[in-house]
Amino acid sequence: MAALARVLMPQPFPRTEFAGDAGHRRPLLRWCHLADRQNLDDPPTGACRDDICPRKAEVVEHDPKLAAYYRGISKHLDLLSLPAPGDRFTLVQVVGEGTYGEVYAARDKLTDRLVAVKIMENIADNVEEMEEEHRVLRDLCVHPNIPTYFGIFFQPAACREDDQVWFVMELCTGGSVTDLVQGLRKANTTLPERTIAYILRETMDALRFLHTHHCMHRDVKGHNILLTETGSVKLVDFGVSSHLDETMGKRNTSVGTPYWMAPEVSTPGPRVSKRGF
């Protein structure tokens, strides 16, 4: 138990890989094909770059009423200052669904790399979730267990209700942990305990980093833990995450996926701190 506890203990960031990491990644590389994912070439790597995430975006032209509408619904995100994706991205296939939108594998023509594009609609209804996801990815994507963030785009349509916000980030072609477990189950096998410990340790390290920055994920589940083809583990989907004003801050609301909730989160009682994840 002591050895397993050491494996699961979150490490400081930045950190160096421990000697066993390569051993845990090799079986993950063999098993990734069981997640029923199409081979989409190598996923992107590296930090956020200025040529990928423009700081001075071209303003999307709108009539004054529409401009006033969008400036009125978002307190923290100036939607009309965001660049339009135009024909820069070629959507290849749907690879998953986030809390508030579908996720596509796409080709970025500017860099000729494969990326993940999360497309969110119903902007007025989901603007708070969009703001939170953008804030987390923009500020915290430097952590190795959080996907690299390449930018946010505004896709106008003929009808305001059809306008979209696109989040572009690192593509994790290994699928989710849920996909992996289901694929292994069909093959009549299971994950070794130490591989499970490796996935948990990486996930816990991401959570520790979020909590250090006063951020609660609030929807940790197998579908939101993704794998890359190099065996890295990434925590995704920050649409229902929440920032706290202080280290021991709490939230009164209960959100997330019921089957994956801790009992103290889903049952009435005292408020839950960030330790409720």
For 175-224, the pLDDT digits (tens) are 999 999 999 999 999 999 999 999 999 999 999 999 998 888 778 889 89
Task: Find the CATH number of the domain harbouring 245.
Answer: 1.10.510.10
User: Which of 1, 9, 21, 5 shows the shortest CA–CA distance to 233?
Assistant: 21
**Per-residue model confidence (pLDDT) at position 55:** 31
**Per-residue model confidence (pLDDT) at position 206:** 93
Domain finish residue from 116, 137, 170: 170
User: Which of 269, 276, 271, 198 shows the shortest CA–CA distance to 241?
Assistant: 276
Same-domain status, 210 and 230:
yes
Task: Report the distance separating Cα 258 and Cα 108, nearest Å.
Answer: 36
Q: Is 1 within the bounds of a domain? A: no
**Per-residue model confidence (pLDDT) at position 45:** 39
Q: Is 143 within the bounds of a domain? A: yes
Longest distance between any two alpha carbons in the chain, whole Å: 64
Same-domain status, 125 and 28:
no
Instruction: Check residues 217 and 119 and name the one with the higher pLDDT.
Output: 119
- Each residue of 223-272: pLDDT tens digit? 899 999 899 999 998 766 555 554 444 444 445 555 556 666 666 565 55
Q: Around Cβ 229, how many Cβ atoms within 10 Å?
A: 20
Q: Is 154 within the bounds of a domain? A: yes
Same-domain status, 165 and 179:
no
The CA R_g of the chain, rounded to the nearest whole Å, is 19
Q: Whole-model pTM above 0.75?
A: no
Query: What phi and psi, each to the nearest 5 degrees, are found at residue 272?
Result: -100, 135
Q: Is 72 within the bounds of a domain? A: yes
How many residues are there in the chain? Answer: 277
Q: Is 260 within the bounds of a domain? A: yes
| CA dihedral of 214, 216, 222, 224, whole degrees rounded to 10 | -80
Task: Find the CATH number of the domain harbouring 95.
Answer: 3.30.200.20
Same-domain status, 189 and 238:
yes
Same-domain status, 158 and 182:
no
Q: How many helices (H) and strands (E) does the chain have?
A: 7, 11
pLDDT over threshold 50, residue 29: yes
Report the percentage of the chain scoring pLDDT > 90.
37
User: What are the Cα distances from residue 264, in Å, to 187, 217, 246, 251, 257?
Assistant: 35, 16, 21, 13, 14
Instruction: Based on the residue annotation, tell me whether 219 is a catalytic residue of this protein.
Output: yes
- The residue range of the domain holding 225 is 18-38+174-276
Number of domains in the chain: 2
Query: What phi and psi, each to the nearest 5 degrees, are found at residue 35?
Result: -85, 5
Q: What is the 3-state secondary structure (H, E, C) of 204-241?
A: HHHHHHHHHCCEECCCCCHHHEEECCCCCEEECCCCCC
Q: How far is CA 21 from the centre of its chain?
A: 22
Task: Report the distance separating Cα 161 and Cα 121, nearest Å.
Answer: 8
Which of 108, 205, 219, 237 is the catalytic position? 219
Same-domain status, 179 and 158:
no
Task: Report the distance separating Cα 83 and Cα 58, nearest Å.
Answer: 5
Q: Is 262 within the bounds of a domain? A: yes
Same-domain status, 269 and 184:
yes
